[in-house]
């Protein structure tokens, strides 16, 4: 206040010599204005105090009210940083920068985001004064296969705050304060496919024999492939199992075709051929590969002469003698391919049951050779007379290798000594394209002693 006191003021006179200045505060803006009264005090002729509280006219004491226009606003920017190379399983860190772009204090500033899998921390912000900003709220998100297939992650968040009157103030995130453009994180797509074409010949590879081609298709890229089709210009080739609707990254699938050897093939000394795998990436672009002998080459598949596989069983058991009732032993059945050709289709074998010794299908491991079993590769069915094992579709016993199945055998109670029981394993003739029947049975005998 300046100009106070006024020394003397005659009757009927007035003076505006006294003035005051005041700087508006944030509290005033939040309140929407300034309300105030002043007090005038003077001395009368007798020295007594004469007072009046200020008003809007001489006749009232109404406080002086100065009203301000409140413009509460908020702006949200959502930015992203990708860890690693921006592929499946990598993490995106989002920073939510919230700015109070209005002239009032905002409270309970909350960021919400509909993105499934996003974890937000730092929300809410208790209070944010006019002109201030904060990046205390962040979010983390792990890239999914759907994101890779889409080629990126596009998303918006929402900032919600309370104005001084308790009303909601909102803004959809943008790339700057001035827009609501969604935040786009672009991911590099590298679609790829590889085709390996292998073959197995029935018989000796002469006129009329059948070649079974196995097409192994692998998704070698980082995006899902759709409508995978194998085409082959070989006249007379009969396909099974194509097209393939969808193939995920790193996934492998098989399809087969058969071809009957002609006189022209005999005259040419064999059959040489390539196939083509075609698939569509998420953008609808064709992704192709010419077949090879491995994923890394496009070498044509050459058939000169080959044979069908030959499977023979053996039984691996540490001891055939059971000394006491209830004794149990593990044993392993090995199904060996001995003719340098992989299985085609499902190999089927049976093992006989008996009354004196109980045979059960289990996860046994041979203690004499330490060979791990492959029980998960086989489908088990049984009745009161035998157990049947069928190689699962898509599983192959490769050339010159074997698959092992673990069993447990138990001597039943009340079995007289010297009781014997055969364990007989038989491979079903022709299963898996087995070409030799004479070695399809193996037999051993256990004894109670």
Average of per-residue pLDDT values in the chain = 92
Give pTM, 2 decimals.
0.58
Q: What is the pLDDT of residue 19?
A: 92
Domain formed by 193-303, architecture: Sandwich (2.60)
pLDDT at 375 over 80: yes
pLDDT band for 365, please (50, 70, 90 cuts).
low
Residues 6+ apart with CB under 8 A from 382: 353, 361, 388
106-145 pLDDT, tens digit per residue, is: 999 999 999 999 999 999 999 999 999 999 999 999 999 9
pLDDT at 152 over 90: yes
Q: What is the pLDDT of residue 205?
A: 78
Do domains 74-186 and 193-303 share one topology? The answer is yes
Q: Topology of domain 311-448, per CATH?
A: Immunoglobulin-like (2.60.40)
Q: What is the pLDDT of residue 341?
A: 82
pLDDT band for 439, please (50, 70, 90 cuts).
very high
Q: Topology of domain 74-186, per CATH?
A: Immunoglobulin-like (2.60.40)
Q: What is the pLDDT of residue 242?
A: 59
Mean pLDDT for the stretch of residues 38-54: 93
Q: What is the pLDDT of residue 436?
A: 85
What are the domain boundaries of the chain?
A: 1-69, 74-186, 193-303, 311-448
DSSP code of 174? B
Encoded tokens for 233: 């210009």
Q: Which residues pair with 60 in a beta bridge?
A: none
Strands (E), 4-151: 33-36, 39-43, 49-53, 64-67, 74-82, 91-100, 106-112, 119-121, 125-128, 133-142
Mean pLDDT for the stretch of residues 402-407: 93
Contact call for residues 110 and 161 (beta carbons, < 8 A): yes
Encoded tokens for 336: 């060996």
pLDDT at 232 over 70: yes
Contact call for residues 85 and 103 (beta carbons, < 8 A): no
Q: What is the pLDDT of residue 34?
A: 93
Phi, psi of 60, deg, nearest 5:
-135, 170
Q: What is the pLDDT of residue 368?
A: 46
| Torsion angle (degrees, nearest 10) of CA 274, 276, 277, 280 | 170
Residues of the chain with pLDDT > 90: what percent? 79
Of 306, 97, 111, residue with least CA distance to 212: 306
- Taking the alpha carbons at both ends of the chain, their separation in whole angstroms is 120
Q: What is the pLDDT of residue 30?
A: 84
Mean pLDDT for the stretch of residues 227-255: 90
DSSP code of 392? P
pLDDT at 307 over 90: no
pLDDT at 300 over 90: yes
pLDDT band for 252, please (50, 70, 90 cuts).
very high
The rounded Cα 64 to chain-centroid distance in angstroms is 66
pLDDT band for 412, please (50, 70, 90 cuts).
very high
Encoded tokens for 185: 């994180």
Contact call for residues 378 and 405 (beta carbons, < 8 A): yes
Q: Who wins on pLDDT, 418 or 242?
A: 418
Encoded tokens for 372: 């791990």
Q: Which residues pair with 443 in a beta bridge?
A: 424
Query: CA-CA distance, 230 to 279, in Å (whole number)?
Result: 9
């Amino acid at each position: 206040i300046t100009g106070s006191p006024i020394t003397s003021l005659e009757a009927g006179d007035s003076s505006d010599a006294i003035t005051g200045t005041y700087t508006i505060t944030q509290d005033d803006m939040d309140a929407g204005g300034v309300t105030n009264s002043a007090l005038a005090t003077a001395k009368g002729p007798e020295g007594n105090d004469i007072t009046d509280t200020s008003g809007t006219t001489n006749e009232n004491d109404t406080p002086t009210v100065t009203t301000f226009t409140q413009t509460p606003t908020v702006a949200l920017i959502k930015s992203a940083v990708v860890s690693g190379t921006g592929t499946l399983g990598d993490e995106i860190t989002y920073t939510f920068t919230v700015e109070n772009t209005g002239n009032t204090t905002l409270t309970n500033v909350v960021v919400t985001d509909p993105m499934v899998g996003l974890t937000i921390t730092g929300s809410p912000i208790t209070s944010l004064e006019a002109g201030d900003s904060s990046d205390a709220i962040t979010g983390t998100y792990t890239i999914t296969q759907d994101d890779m297939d889409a080629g990126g992650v596009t998303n918006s968040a929402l900032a919600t705050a309370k104005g001084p009157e308790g009303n909601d103030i909102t803004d959809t995130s943008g790339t700057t304060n001035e827009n609501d453009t969604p935040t786009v994180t672009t991911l590099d797509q590298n679609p790829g496919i590889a085709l390996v074409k292998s073959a197995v010949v029935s018989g000796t590879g002469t006129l009329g024999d059948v070649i079974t081609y196995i097409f192994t298709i692998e998704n070698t890229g980082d995006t899902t492939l759709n409508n995978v089709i194998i085409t082959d210009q070989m006249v007379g080739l009969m396909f099974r199992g194509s097209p393939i609707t969808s193939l995920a990254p790193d996934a492998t699938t098989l399809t087969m075709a058969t071809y009957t050897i002609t006189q022209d093939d005999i005259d040419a000394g064999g059959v040489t051929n390539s196939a083509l795998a075609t698939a569509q990436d998420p953008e609808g672009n064709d992704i192709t590969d010419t077949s090879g002998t491995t994923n890394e080459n496009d070498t044509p598949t050459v058939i000169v002469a080959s044979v069908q596989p030959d499977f023979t069983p053996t039984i691996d058991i540490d001891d055939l003698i059971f000394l006491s009732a209830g004794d149990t032993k593990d044993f392993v059945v090995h199904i060996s391919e001995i003719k340098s050709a992989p299985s085609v289709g499902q190999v089927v074998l049976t093992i006989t049951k008996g009354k004196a010794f109980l045979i059960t299908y289990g996860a046994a491991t041979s203690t004499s050779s330490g060979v791990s079993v492959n029980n998960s590769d086989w489908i088990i069915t049984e009745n009161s007379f035998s157990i049947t094992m069928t190689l699962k579709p898509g599983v192959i016993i490769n050339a010159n290798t074997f698959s092992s199945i673990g069993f447990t055998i138990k001597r039943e109670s009340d079995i007289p000594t010297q009781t014997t029981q055969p364990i007989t394993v038989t491979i079903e003739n022709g299963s898996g394209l087995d070409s030799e029947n004479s070695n399809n049975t193996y037999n051993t005998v256990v004894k109670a002693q």
